């Protein structure tokens, strides 16, 4: 697609109450709906009404989240929707490639080509739930993660597109010459294959990556179709955008093969005054924990400072204290505080709105202006939306901001295709076995086990 015809893409990070830290206390929200399928189906239908690309669910293997496991949830929603895509988070450190290849192939078949995998390495807190005494360090996790993804791709490729026959006359159902062992032997995994379900409708489900560390950016440049990132300023977003896309050439990829989607928590009103009123309402609902949570980055307690005082940057703790587990959003939040000279109240508000992603407060037109500026000036290919409260925050975006973006020519007026890859403008990966030929032009045989 030419630069002039580029369209912004939007994913919605769905949750039970919203992404503002005070969302569960807002009077319009029902915090007991985290295990209510109808609540999430409603969010999916609102997003689909707005022609948004996909829904996203984060996940982990520790803590008391009271949320559904994402592949199970999305399998249910897929039966009740037609276009919206599904981005499920699955970690590589505490899983097995064969299981994950099979689960995502199943979701892609169930949804008719709308599945996506958000690839993470996993959090330290999960180690003891899987019989591990220690959580691997960042470098080790990314090495394992890269090999894990390679195995999964090869398993997806272990079936050619026309391996299924369904010939009633001969009762032949499968051409076994078109299903292959992968015989993978790497540093961390040994997998014979093939997968026991045909190749996904999209070839590969869309691959999403969320890490912004060096290892994360390298994995994304090599593997990902889309990247979720946390950037608090346009300048930081532009720097990340250029850095990430410049890494792709060494992996034989072009910049248009990867979408960069920063997180955005939009607090929207018909007027700026209405939006500011909602922002203040949410701020007043915050409890002391929000300030305590930010104070952990400092050698002082921020509650001892006036809210209109500047953030005491000189009191920061050393960055190396925050390098365990999933890479912290600390650097992003602190960078914004320095660049924009936040007061403590601004620091709390911006941090509480979207887990370290940017919170933008304004009228419908101002939010559209913000999105257009980042989109046109090289900061984003679209956004990972984190509505402050559900469903109201998503509804106002879909019903008011989306029409404004359509009027400006930067968002679709109809879905482009039937699969998530088609709607994102991504090509369907060819099967690697289609390129395995002997010198005499005959296919190298690697028959299946049945």
- Answer yes or no: is pLDDT of 17 > 90: yes
- Answer yes or no: is pLDDT of 140 > 60: yes
The pTM score is: 0.89
Structure tokens at 422: 């088609």
Task: Tell me which of 3.40.50.1820, 3.20.20.30, 3.40.50.410, 3.30.70.20 is the CATH number of domain 3-266+358-435.
Answer: 3.20.20.30
Of 62, 16, 96, 58, give the one whose Cα is nearest residue 208.
58
User: What SS3 string covers the chain?
Assistant: CCHHHCCCEEEEECCCCCCCCCHHHCCCCCCCCCCCHHHHHHHHHHHHHCCCCEEEECCCCCCCCCCCCHHHHHHHHHCCCCCCEEEEEEECCCCCHHHHHHHHHHHHHHCCCCEEEEEECCCHHHHHHHCCCCCCCHHHHHHHHHHHHHHHHHHHCCECCCCEEEECCCCEEECHHHECCCCEECCCCEECCCCCCCCCCCCCCEEEECCCCHHHHHHHHHHCCEEEECCCCHHHHHHHHHHHHHCHHHHCCCHHHCEEEEEEEEEEECCHHHHHHHHHHHHHHCCHHHHHHHHCCECCCHHHCCCCCECCHHHECCHHHHCCCCCCCHHHHHHHHHHHCCEHHHHHHHHHHHCCCEEEEEEHHHHHHHHHHHHHCCCCCEEEECCCCCCHHHHHHHHHHHHHHHHCCCCCCCCCCCCHHHHHCCCCCCCHHHHCECCCCCECCCCCCC
Q: How confident is the model at residue 261 (pLDDT cuts 50, 70, 90)?
A: very high
- Answer yes or no: is pLDDT of 322 > 70: no
Mean of the pLDDT values across residues 261-271?
Answer: 97
Domain ranges of the chain: 3-266+358-435
- Answer yes or no: is pLDDT of 325 > 90: no
Q: How confident is the model at residue 435 (pLDDT cuts 50, 70, 90)?
A: low
- Answer yes or no: is pLDDT of 65 > 90: no
Q: How confident is the model at residue 5 (pLDDT cuts 50, 70, 90)?
A: confident
pLDDT at 228: 96
Which span out of 134-148, 219-233, 321-335 was modeled with the highest average pLDDT?
Answer: 219-233
Mean of the pLDDT values across residues 11-32?
Answer: 92
Distance between CA atoms of residues 158 and 63, nearest Å = 36
Binding-site positions:
59, 89, 142, 212-213
Structure tokens at 153: 């791709």
Residue in this structure with the two tokens 């559900």, named with its chain if needed: 390
pLDDT at 450: 38
What angle do helix axes 138-156 and 214-223 make, rounded to 10 degrees? 10
Binding-site positions for FMN:
59, 89, 142, 212-213
- Answer yes or no: is pLDDT of 446 > 50: no
pLDDT at 60: 83
pLDDT at 339: 79
Q: Which has the higher per-residue pLDDT, 434 or 336?
A: 336
Q: Which has the higher per-residue pLDDT, 92 or 338?
A: 92
pLDDT at 74: 98
Mean pLDDT lowest for which of 126-135, 243-252, 302-311?
126-135
Which span out of 87-101, 111-125, 135-149 was modeled with the highest average pLDDT?
Answer: 87-101
Mean per-residue pLDDT over the chain, rounded: 89
Mean pLDDT lowest for which of 368-372, 420-424, 431-435?
431-435
Mean of the pLDDT values across residues 40-52?
Answer: 98
């Amino acid at each position: 697609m030419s630069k002039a015809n580029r369209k912004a893409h939007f994913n919605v990070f769905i949750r039970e109450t919203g992404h503002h830290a005070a969302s569960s206390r807002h009077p319009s929200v029902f915090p007991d709906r985290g295990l209510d399928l109808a609540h999430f189906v409603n969010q999916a239908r609102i997003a689909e009404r707005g022609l948004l690309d996909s829904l996203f669910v984060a996940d982990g293997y520790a803590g008391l989240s009271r949320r559904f496991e994402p592949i199970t949830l999305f399998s249910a929603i897929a039966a009740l929707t037609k276009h919206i895509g599904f981005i499920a988070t699955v970690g590589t450190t505490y899983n097995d490639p064969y299981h994950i290849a099979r689960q995502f192939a199943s979701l892609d078949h169930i949804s008719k080509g709308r599945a996506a995998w958000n690839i993470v390495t996993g959090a330290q807190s999960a180690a003891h739930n899987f019989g591990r005494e220690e959580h691997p360090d960042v470098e080790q996790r990314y090495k394992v993660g890269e090999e894990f993804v390679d195995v999964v791709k090869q398993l997806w490729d272990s079936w050619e597109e026309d391996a299924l026959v369904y010939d009633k006359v001969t009762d032949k159902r499968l051409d076994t010459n078109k299903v292959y062992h992968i015989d993978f032997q790497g540093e961390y995994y040994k997998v014979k294959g093939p997968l026991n379900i045909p190749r996904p409708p999209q070839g590969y489900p869309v691959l999403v990556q969320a890490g912004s560390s060096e290892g994360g950016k390298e994995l994304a440049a090599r593997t990902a179709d889309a990247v979720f990132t946390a950037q608090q300023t346009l300048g930081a977003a532009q720097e990340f955008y250029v850095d990430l896309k410049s890494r792709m050439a060494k992996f034989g990829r072009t910049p248009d093969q990867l979408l960069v989607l920063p997180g955005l928590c939009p607090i929207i009103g018909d007027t700026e005054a209405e939006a500011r009123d909602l922002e203040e309402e949410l701020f007043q609902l915050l409890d002391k924990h929000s300030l305590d949570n930010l104070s952990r980055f400092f050698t002082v307690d921020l509650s001892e400072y006036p809210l209109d005082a500047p953030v005491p940057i000189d009191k920061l703790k050393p960055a190396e204290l925050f390098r365990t587990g999933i890479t912290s959003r600390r650097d992003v939040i602190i960078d914004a505080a320095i660049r924009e000279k936040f007061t403590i109240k601004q620091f709390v508000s911006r941090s509480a709105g979207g887990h370290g992603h940017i919170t933008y407060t304004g009228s419908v037109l101002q939010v559209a202006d913000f999105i257009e500026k980042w989109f046109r000036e090289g900061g984003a290919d679209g956004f990972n939306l984190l509505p402050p409260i559900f469903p109201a925050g998503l509804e106002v975006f879909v019903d008011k901001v989306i029409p404004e973006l359509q009027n400006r020519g930067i968002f679709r007026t109809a879905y482009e295709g039937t699969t998530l890859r088609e709607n994102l403008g991504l090509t369907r990966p060819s099967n690697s076995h289609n390129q395995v030929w002997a010198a005499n032009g005959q296919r190298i045989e690697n028959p299946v086990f049945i």
